[in-house]
């Protein structure tokens, strides 16, 4: 296996997906075959689904909250914490995962592109998202203290836009890294490369002259666009992949 050298010249942008949490026991999206308890995933993870059946949506997210609260970060998460400690501000982690495991492992420079399971916001008023670990009892749809509107999970659903501030943070980091005069590296781990804009980051990094790495259990949709590809479980590969210099 080739080693990823992380030295004082290196800037590293990491993108993670559901595969990184798989060894913690969180099911991947594609692993669920697009279904949850026989409901198409779009019915429980879209604005239309929420309007149609908010009780079902809260049942799904309450179950996911309970599931994520019961698991622990794995050695893949821990490896990324060690890389960040070594690189400091020359490291950024963009994750598509909403389970919060990266922060629980100790990662600090994290952009949660798809939101966070343990945050809630109002679907009606501008009240900022707030921490919420509540597992709501079956049949409950919580309401906003401020306006009485329906509360919803702070998750980017199908058909919704990513937070432009999150995207700017990733783009600014990539720009600083690729114009730093140092070496800019992008590494994607545990992601199927199907969902944009995350799946397109590899192309932009290559255009900017960056080095690209993929760590995935199965070939990803965008595998051939990476320069280096390591097949395996992220919890096994990541702890051995980097040489901190």
Task: Confirm or reject binding of residue 223 to ligand OAD (CB under 6 A).
Answer: no
Output the CA–CA distances (angstroms, integers) from residue 38 to 19, 60, 65, 160, in the order listed. 22, 12, 19, 23
Task: Confirm or reject binding of residue 68 to ligand OAD (CB under 6 A).
Answer: no
Closer of 29 and 228 to ligand OAD (Cβ): 29
Task: Confirm or reject binding of residue 218 to ligand OAD (CB under 6 A).
Answer: yes
Binding residue for ligand OAD (CB under 6 A) from 195, 204, 211, 228?
195
Number of residues that bind ligand OAD (CB under 6 A): 25
Interacting span for ligand OAD (CB under 6 A) from 47-55, 56-64, 80-88, 217-225? 217-225
Binding residue for ligand OAD (CB under 6 A) from 114, 119, 154, 225?
114
The torsion defined by the Cα of 27, 140, 126 and 171, in degrees rounded to 10, comes to: 0
What is the 8-class DSSP label of residue 34? T
The torsion defined by the Cα of 12, 17, 22 and 28, in degrees rounded to 10, comes to: -170
User: Residue 105 and residue 169: Cα distance in Å, rounded?
Assistant: 21
User: Residue 64 and residue 26: Cα distance in Å, rounded?
Assistant: 9
CB atoms within 10 A of CB 56: 17
Task: Examine the residue annotation and report whether 114 is marked as an active-site residue of this protein.
Answer: yes
Binding residue for ligand OAD (CB under 6 A) from 122, 156, 174, 241?
156
Q: Which string of x and - marks every residue 69-88 that binds ligand OAD (by CB under 6 A)? A: --------------------
Q: By three-state DSSP, how is residue 175 classified?
A: helix
Which residues are annotated as catalytic?
114
Residues forming contacts to ligand OAD in the complex (CB under 6 A) are 17-19, 22-23, 28-31, 45, 96, 114, 156, 190-192, 194-195, 216-218, 220, 233-235
């Amino acid at each position: 296996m080739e080693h990823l050298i992380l030295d004082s010249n290196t800037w590293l942008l990491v993108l993670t997906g559901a595969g990184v949490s798989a060894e913690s026991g969180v099911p991947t999206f594609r692993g669920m075959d697009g279904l949850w308890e026989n409901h198409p995933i779009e019915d429980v993870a879209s604005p239309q689904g929420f309007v149609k059946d908010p009780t079902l949506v809260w049942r799904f997210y309450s179950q996911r909250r309970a599931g994520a609260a019961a698991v622990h970060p794995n050695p893949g998460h821990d490896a990324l914490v060690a890389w960040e400690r070594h690189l400091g501000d020359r490291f950024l982690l963009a994750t598509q995962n909403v389970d919060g495991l990266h922060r629980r492992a100790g990662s600090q420079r994290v952009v949660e592109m798809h939101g966070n399971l343990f945050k809630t916001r109002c679907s009606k008023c501008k009240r900022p998202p707030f921490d919420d670990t509540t597992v709501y009892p079956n049949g409950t749809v919580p309401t906003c203290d401020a306006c009485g509107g329906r509360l919803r999970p702070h998750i980017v659903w199908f058909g919704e836009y990513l937070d432009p501030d999150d995207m700017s943070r990733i783009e600014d980091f990539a720009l600083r890294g690729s114009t730093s005069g140092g070496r800019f590296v992008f590494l994607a781990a545990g992601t199927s490369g199907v969902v944009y804009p995350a799946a397109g980051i590899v192309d932009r990094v290559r255009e900017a002259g960056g080095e690209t790495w993929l760590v995935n259990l199965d070939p990803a949709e965008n595998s051939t666009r990476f320069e280096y590809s390591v097949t395996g479980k992220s919890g096994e590969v990541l702890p051995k992949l980097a040489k901190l210099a």
